[in-house]
Amino acid sequence: MTSYSDIESEIRTLAKQGFDGTLAHRREIHSNPELSFAEHNTAAYIENELQLLGLKTNRIGITGVWAIIEGEAGDGPVVGLRADLDALPITENNSKEYISKNKGVMHACGHDVHSASLLGAAAILVKIKSKLKGKVKLIFQPGEEKLPGGASILIKEGILENPKVDLMIGQHVMPLIETGKVGFREGLYMASTDELYVTVKGKGGHGAMPHLTVDPVAITAQIIVALQQLVSRMASPIVPTVLTFGKINSTGGATNIIPSEVKLEGTFRTLDESWREKAHEKMKKLAEHIAEGFGAEIDFVIERGYPFLKNDVALTSKLTSAAKKYMGEEKVEKLDMWMAAEDFSFYSQKVPSCFYRLGTRNEGKGIISSVHTDTFDIDEDALEYGSGLMAYLAFISCGGVL
């Protein structure tokens, strides 16, 4: 009989032996980033590497790739492992040998790490499939960074069917956590996200004669303040809610010219779907009433984004315990709730799911930058844990033979 300690040891050894390959995957993908839904070369690279492992590959959502690893130890669940492929429209400001070759495009959110880790995990699982029950469905997903989110498209195109996925596991880098550590959280973890696009249409004129204008700048200021009060006064104090306006522009205008139009863009995030719907309605009505009261017109468009992400409590508890066995108890942290958003949430709305964090920070190496910045990088030692732990969690979830 194989023991848990034996399989843990075997997977650790395989992750260490496969490190150079996982590292090569990460650097290749990092050097050749592609934007959301345009990951053609990345998808082709993934296909080739999976085929070298003896796996049959399938395309979905044009640039999505999936494959199945068949366990040989009997029946069991189908476990979905997800990585995302797309990069961000950022010009990289690093000096490493593997920096982006595509100016203005950069893997600044670790999707190169996710894909490389899943390739590394796949290589491990292929080697231990004689001890594996059920199936592991490898999902390399496009377009996480862009609405409507690649996850929503893949679900519509049947990624959770044929074979039907019983549970999903996703991994994401976390530059706030040291390399060699991981983070888990049961229950609600990440927020829904919606994009707000507001246009206030007034009547421009001379800055010295405001009484002859309908000033959209002043009206927009009133709207911003009022909407912030809506969040602070109407949202339940126990329901996390964030409203942020990050962009404001006028059409025309100068120090002494009142413009005719102002455009406002922002984001609304929460962890409660009922309040999300009510807030959409209330924000629109309040903004419309303010604009109307000052004689202006308004277009208030809400582009619905990702839902909140909820980690299944039973599954996440099980995988947290497994991670403590694999990594060591002191290497597993409890995550705080986070108001960022992730399209893995679409999977979490459909099947029991667990989305956890891989530590990539190393202050001694100067690797401290946040995701979505032009200096983001990872301590590449994390790749050994990225591939090994994901393979181990998949094995445990499938009910591997012990």
Residues labelled catalytic: 306, 380
Supply angle C-alpha 391, 44, 355, rounded to 5: 35
Q: Is 293 helix (H, G, I), strand (E, B) or coil?
A: helix
Residue tagged 């894909």 (tokens): 115
**CA 107 to CA 71: how far, in whole Å?**
33
Cis peptide before 89 (omega within 30 of 0): no
366: left (phi over 0), alpha (psi -120 to 50) or beta: left
Query: Residue 190 in contact with residue 338, Cβ under 8 Å?
Result: yes
Type of residue found at 241? T
> Looking at 64-178, which runs of residues are DSSP E strands?
64-70, 78-84, 135-141, 167-178
Q: Is 367 helix (H, G, I), strand (E, B) or coil?
A: strand
**Taking the CA atoms of the chain, what radius of gyration do you get in angstroms?**
24
Query: Residue 326 in contact with residue 178, Cβ under 8 Å?
Result: no
Residue tagged 């922002």 (tokens): 266
Sign of CA dihedral 32, 60, 109, 185: negative
The CB density around residue 178, as the number of other CB atoms within 10 Å, is: 16
Long-range contact list for 328-335, CB < 8 A, 24+ apart? 331/180, 331/181, 331/182, 332/181, 332/182, 332/183, 332/184, 333/177, 333/181, 333/182, 333/183, 333/184, 334/183, 334/184, 334/185, 335/183, 335/184, 335/185, 335/189
Long-range contact list for 208-214, CB < 8 A, 24+ apart? 208/256, 210/258, 213/258, 214/294, 214/295, 214/296
CA 268 from centre of chain = 17
Cβ neighbours of residue 209 closer than 8 Å, sequence gap 6 or more = none
DSSP 214-255: B-HHHHHHHHHHHHHHHHHHHS-TTS-EEEEEEEEEEES-BT
